[in-house]
Structure 1
Amino acid sequence: MSKKWISSGSDFEKLAGYSRAVIENGLVHVSGTTGFDYATMSIQDDLAAQTHQTFKNIQAALQQAGASLDDVVRVHYLITDASYFSEVAPIFGQYFANARPAATALVVGLVDPRMKIEIEVTARIPT
């Protein structure tokens, strides 16, 4: 199977040499995704709003690949403060109630201080 690339349209993808998602061998690998609204390249300060926008961005990439959040098998959550987890965990549960993917949560520093969360997923394309 050939490889297919999906772009969000962000100039940063070309600059940094990556794709929003890569499809290969029936899997969709979605890059670390943040709460930026790609249409306006703006980000809200509110953690919950960033988290919801992040899922919206991931859903858009998965949809282009022919998959959905229900097809996610692996997720990595990257948050900038451990105290954020209690606020975002119920949001994760809302989006992954059906998929229940294998998950890892890490506390990290992100490349833009406005970002509070980044999420990376792998999904299977339904057959």
Structure 2
Amino acid sequence: MVMIRKLISSGSTFEKEIGYSRAVVVDNWVLVSGTTGFDYSKMIISDDLLEQAEQCFKNIESALNQAESSMKDVVRVTYVFPNTEDFEKCWPVMRKYLGDVRPSAMMLTAALSDPRMKIEIQVTAYRSTET
């Protein structure tokens, strides 16, 4: 049995500088790296928490689409916040993207690599074999 592996890039300078992929597809699994609120095409980030959350999900959707997957395939999500109190503020955005999908979830509080980052989201998806 041959494992199919595909690397997905967002074009972020972080990927090249650090040495990782936005997502890795292994057979039907899609593993999306921790994704922040940067608009990777311009390498800019909003100061607004909810705008960052929206951009995180847009970046994740783009990676999933490149992997021939979608948000409906997400089975696990991990949220990371530098400030615990920001978690609940983001619930409406999370519900917008994953409310119908309802993946398993976890929230962590930890420092992020850039002080401008207010949220980071990582997802795992399983692509359906249905056509």
> What range describes the TM-score normalised by the shorter chain of this pair?
over 0.9
Q: In the TM superposition, what is the alpha-carbon distance from 1:21 to its structure 2 partner?
A: 0.2
Q: Which AA in structure 1 matches 2:38?
A: F
1:24-74 deviation line (CA, Å, top 9, x unaligned): 021000000000001110000000000000000000000000111111000
The equivalent of 1:116 in structure 2 is 118
After superposing on structure 2, the runs of 4+ consecutive aligned residues of structure 1 that deviate more than 4 Å are: none
Q: Which residue of 2 aligns with 1:37?
A: 39
5+ residue gaps, structure 1: none
- Distance in 1, matches of 2:41 and 2:17, equals 18
- Which TM-score applies when normalising by structure 1? 0.97
Q: Tell me, what secondary structure is at the counterpart of 2:112?
A: coil
Q: CA deviation at 1:98?
A: 1.9
Selected match of 2:79 from 77, 80, 94: 77
Which residue of structure 2 lines up, in the alignment, with residue 67 of structure 1? 69
Given residue 17 of structure 2, which amino acid in structure 1 is its aligned partner?
Answer: L
Match of 2:58 among 39, 56, 65: 56
Distance in 1 between residues matched to 2:22 and 2:71, nearest whole Å? 15
Counterpart CA distance in 1 for 2:41 and 2:25 is 23
Which residue of the other structure, out of 94, 101, 108, is the alignment partner of 1:106? 108
The answer for unaligned runs of 5 or more in structure 2 is none
Paired letter, 1:120: Q
Q: Which amino acid aligns with 2:96?
A: Q
Q: Which residue of 2 aligns with 1:19?
A: 21
Aligned to 2:10: 8
SS of alignment partner, residue 82 of structure 1: coil
